[in-house]
């Protein structure tokens, strides 16, 4: 049995320990916000936070997250996620939307570490998350907007 927290709730699963966290979230817990895109840590659609760090859940065996606290798009802290989602709406970012959970989770991890990221910081944090619809330039604007909104609240 493997125990860990998902969005602040204690969870336990009895499953083959090599099962990727992604499929435990989706198939076992029925939490569909975290997406399958490549299965090889190449596209970032499956990005979640494990103890606050952005992690690709498609290549993370569930045994590796025993005892950790996992955050998915469904449980993103409103203090962090609220300004990001507002900014995403203001910039009308999503097209198909499939990659956006991963984009927001990556952006949230970035802003947690770096309250006012530069374009280069954003490039570095976001390059792992593929969007085939081409929302990259809106995401960049949205991250800057969210950073600004958060810093204004902090003032």
Partner 1 sequence: MKIVNLSRRDFLKTGTIAGGGLLLGIQIPRLGASETGVTSDKTFEPNAFVRIGSDDSVTLIINHSEMGQGVYTSLAMILAEELECDWKRVRVEASPVAPAYNNTLFGIQMTGGSTSVKSEWDRLRNMGAAARTMLVTAAAADWSVAAEECHATNGVVIHSTSGRHATFGSLVEKAAAVEAPETVTLKDPAKFRLIGKATRRLDTPSKLDGSAVFGIDVRVPGMLVAVVARPPVFGAKLKSVDSKKSKAIPGVRHVVEIGRGVAVVADGFWQAEKGRQALELVWDEGALADLDSVKEGVMFAELADKPGLVARNIGDSDAALAGAKQTLAADYEVPYLAHAPMEPLNCVADVRKDSCEVWVGTQSQTLDVMAAARAAGLAPAQVKLHTTLLGGAFGRRAVLDSHFVVEAVEISKAVKAPVKVIWTREDDITGGFYRPRYLHRLRGGLDAEGKIAGWQQRIVSQSFIIGGPFASMLVKDGVDELAIEGASDAVYAIADRRVEWHQAPNGVPTLWWRSVGHSANAFVVESFLDELAHAAGRDPLEVRRELLKDQPRHLRVLDRAAKEAGWGKPLPEGRARGIAVHASFGSYVAQVAEVSVSKRGEVRVHRVVCAIDCGPIVNPDTIAAQMEGSVVFALSAALYGEITFEKGRVQQSNFHDYPVLRFDEMPLVETHIVQSSDSMGGVGEPAVPPVAPAVTNAIFALTGQRIRRLPIDPKQLAG
Chain positions contacting partner 1, by CB under 8 A = 16, 19-20, 23, 26-28, 30-40, 42-43, 45, 72-74, 85, 88-89, 92-101, 104, 122-124, 126-140
Task: Name the minimum Å distance from CB 118 to partner 1.
Answer: 13
CB closer to partner 1, 120 vs 155: 120
CB closer to partner 1, 45 vs 50: 45
Q: Which residues pair with 70 in a beta bridge?
A: 6, 50
Task: Name the minimum Å distance from CB 22 to partner 1.
Answer: 9
CB closer to partner 1, 4 vs 44: 44
CB closer to partner 1, 54 vs 155: 54
Handedness of CA 112, 114, 118, 119 (dihedral sign): negative
């Amino acid at each position: 049995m493997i125990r860990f927290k998902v969005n602040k709730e204690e969870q336990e699963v009895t499953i083959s320990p090599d099962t990727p966290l992604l499929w435990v979230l989706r198939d076992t817990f029925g939490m569909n916000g975290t997406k399958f895109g490549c299965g090889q840590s190449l596209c970032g659609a499956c990005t979640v936070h494990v103890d606050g760090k952005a992690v690709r859940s498609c290549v993370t065996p569930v045994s590796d997250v025993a005892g950790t606290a996992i955050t998915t798009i469904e449980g993103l802290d409103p203090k962090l996620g609220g300004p990001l989602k507002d900014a995403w709406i203001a910039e009308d970012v999503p097209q198909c939307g499939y990659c956006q959970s991963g984009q927001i989770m990556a952006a949230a991890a970035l802003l947690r570490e770096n309250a006012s990221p530069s374009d280069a910081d954003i490039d570095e944090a976001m390059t792992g998350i593929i969007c085939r619809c081409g929302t990259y330039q809106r995401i960049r604007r949205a991250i800057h907007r969210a950073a600004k909104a958060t810093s204004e609240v902090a003032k």
